[in-house]
Amino acid sequence: MFKPSHESLLIQNAEINRLELPRIQDETELEALKADGSLLEIRSGETLRFDPRLDPSRRFCRPWTLDFVNDVSQAYFNRFHQQIQVNSAVRTVKVQKKLRRHNRNAAPADGDTASSHLAGVTVDLQRRGMSKDQIRWMEHYLFYMKALGLVEPEEERHQWVFHIMVSGLYSDWRETQDIIPVEHPDNEHQNNAHPDSDKPETQVSLGSGTK
């Protein structure tokens, strides 16, 4: 549904530029942003786990991206009683250049189509291993968020992840919400409702929020 494209990379970088965020060059800059609270730690728990290969020093993101990760992992756990896995979060330019040498599909480390991981606004959530219902649920969740201009998602097939850039508007938006009415881009859900669900499939509770 969310095919990676040049246009999507431009949208992601336009949001980073709007927020006037730096592309993090190296470990020194990364640690400085952690120290001043510009980057927050993503914590594993009941609803979320990490790919064990992800360096603990890079399990960080912007505060609004952390809000999104906490919300989507809680909603996913409520629906499926399974954890979401974070495969990637913040990266430095140095790390991205190294990645490019081994993965020709990786985004550039600079320019208008640079990887949005470099600004700490993006996470990759593992898609591999999800059932068809779980993938469909994620797509519907992201479809609604994208329609509101709160995320820019891509479904990467080479790495089998949901790559999700979170807009700086997310945290302010979530403070006005407690239920997300997930809009479906098709009618498949009518024939695929979970028999044990005690909530309509068109509503997802946020992890927090007030009206």
pLDDT band at 180 (very low <50, low <70, confident <90, very high): low
Decide if pLDDT at 193 tops 90: no
Residue 104 is predicted with a pLDDT of 67
Give CA separation, 147 vs 3, 11, 98, 126, 182, in Å.
16, 14, 34, 22, 10
Decide if pLDDT at 188 tops 60: no
Residue 38 is predicted with a pLDDT of 98
Domain ranges in the chain? Answer: 6-205
Domain at 6-205, CATH from 2.20.25, 3.40.30, 3.30.1380, 1.20.58 = 3.30.1380
Least confident of 39-48, 55-64, 126-135, 196-205: 196-205
Cα distance from N-terminal residue to C-terminal residue, the chain:
31
Percent of residues, the chain, with pLDDT higher than 70? 83
Q: What share of the chain is helix, strand, coil (3-state, %, to 5)?
A: 40, 15, 45
Give CA separation, 167 vs 17, 137, 174, in Å.
11, 21, 12
Look up the pTM and report it.
0.84
Per residue in 35-90, pLDDT (tens digit) is: 999 999 999 999 999 999 999 999 999 999 999 999 999 999 999 999 999 999 99
pLDDT band at 209 (very low <50, low <70, confident <90, very high): very low
pLDDT band at 179 (very low <50, low <70, confident <90, very high): low
pLDDT band at 156 (very low <50, low <70, confident <90, very high): confident
Residue 34 is predicted with a pLDDT of 98
φ/ψ of 207, rounded to 5, equals: -65, -30
Average pLDDT, the chain: 87
φ/ψ of 205, rounded to 5, equals: -75, 135
Residue 48 is predicted with a pLDDT of 98
